[in-house]
A = this chain, B = another copy of it.
Amino acid sequence: MEFTAKQIAEILNGTVEGNPDVKVNNLSKIEEGKQATLSFLANPKYTNYIYTTKASIVIVNNDFVPEKEISTTLIRVEDAYQAFAKLLDAYNQIKLNKTGISEKAHIPESAVLGKDVYVGEFAVIGDNVSIGNNSKIYPHAIIGDNTTIGDNTTVFAGAKIYSDTVIGNNCTIHSGAVIGSDGFGFAPQSDSNYMKIAQIGNVILEDNVDIGANTTVDRATLGSTIIRKGAKLDNLIQVGHNVEIGENTVIAAQTGISGSTKLGRNMMIGGQVGIIGHLKIGDEVKIAAQSGVSKSFKNGTVIQGSPAFDILKYNKSYAIFRNLSNLWDRLNKLEKKVNG
């Protein structure tokens, strides 16, 4: 795909300054711009790069006033960042626009597929599965029996959905993610063996949920593990059985949430956080990376530490922790002085 500056300006409703016929075939960052790529300038911190960038076209805000000569072609728009994001998204949609049902996929007669569904090579669709319009099932993805998937949802290569899962619209599930594996439930026996407790619940992902690569979401023992609409989970996260994650809550990589804990809405959870089971965490709570959460917290709290407590208090304590040997020495001196 190649586009001229003129064509792009028309799409973005902008004006060309420079060569309207220069062509680009890719996007780039302004500080790494190469020929035949298009970049953008929005953050003033990067203004200097516009005088040296090799990008053939740079999108700028209407009010941008150059202080030196510029050799690249400019496209002026109302909001350069938004315009670029729009192009980025359009580019991605073209790139990922897979369609058709591979003859090498395994699709039983009981499956109901919507319009324009893509099913890649060696994907396995279980019995009684329903998949909505425009959804994409990449190669090697596995959709377990009785699972329903909404519209515009993408399941990337090799993601594994166990039976009875319910997935909404506009979800993205990345490669290697496992949805619906058994919860970790074992009843200790008198002989110190453990008896497995059957896990017969399921997992529900509401609309607009993102699940990162190799993240695991366990099915409920009974009932459902629920990830509510708009929640975004990064890679390698563990979600235990019967957990509920609130709307628009964002969780960074390698965090783990133990069984039956309920997380509020609009939370922000850093990477490698651990949260024990059976807690109730309020809305808009923020948890710093690597924290260990061992009790419930109210709406809006910001916490850190293992176990975690108020982040300001944590930082004060940690500042002193770094100087504990100084404190130790001062106490020693004082003792000597007082005790003679």
Contacts and interface: CB of A to CB of B under 8 A. Distances in A.
Interface of A: 27-29, 32, 85, 88-89, 91-93, 95, 104, 106, 120-122, 124, 139-140, 142, 144, 156-158, 160, 162-163, 172, 174-176, 178, 181-182, 184, 186-187, 192-194, 196-200, 208, 210, 212-214, 216, 218, 222-223, 230, 232, 234-236, 238, 240, 248, 250, 252-254, 256, 258, 265-266, 271-272, 274, 276, 289-290, 292, 306-307, 309, 313, 316-318, 320-325, 327-328, 330-331, 334-335, 337-339
Nearest to A40: B222
Contacts of A266: 192
B272 A253 contact: no
Contacts of A193: 208, 230, 248
B322 A321 contact: no
List the 4 closest pairs (A to B, CB-CB), nearest first: A92-B198, A181-B213, A178-B213, A320-B324
A276 B106 CA distance: 42
20 contacts: A29-B222, A32-B222, A32-B223, A85-B198, A88-B200, A122-B124, A140-B140, A140-B142, A140-B158, A158-B178, A172-B196, A174-B178, A178-B235, A193-B230, A194-B230, A214-B216, A252-B258, A256-B271, A290-B292, A327-B328
A238 B271 CA distance: 10
B328 A176 contact: no
A325 B317 contact: yes
A232 B182 contact: no
A91 B112 CA distance: 26
A330 B139 CA distance: 65
Contacts of A252: 184, 258
Contacts of A181: 156, 174-175, 212-213, 235
A157 B184 CA distance: 18
A323 B194 CA distance: 38
A89 B322 contact: no
A121 B95 contact: no
Given A193-B208, A256-B253, A121 B121 contact: no
A274 B272 contact: yes
Contacts of A93: 198
A158 B156 contact: no
Contact of A214 (B32, B120, B178, B339): B178
A289 B292 contact: yes
B274 A254 contact: yes
Contacts of A120: 124
A332 B114 CA distance: 72
Contacts of A27: 200, 222
A287 to B, nearest CB: 13
B328 A331 contact: no
Contacts of A157: 124, 142, 144, 160, 162
A28 B223 contact: yes
A257 to B, nearest CB: 9
Given A106-B122, A157-B142, A95 B200 contact: yes
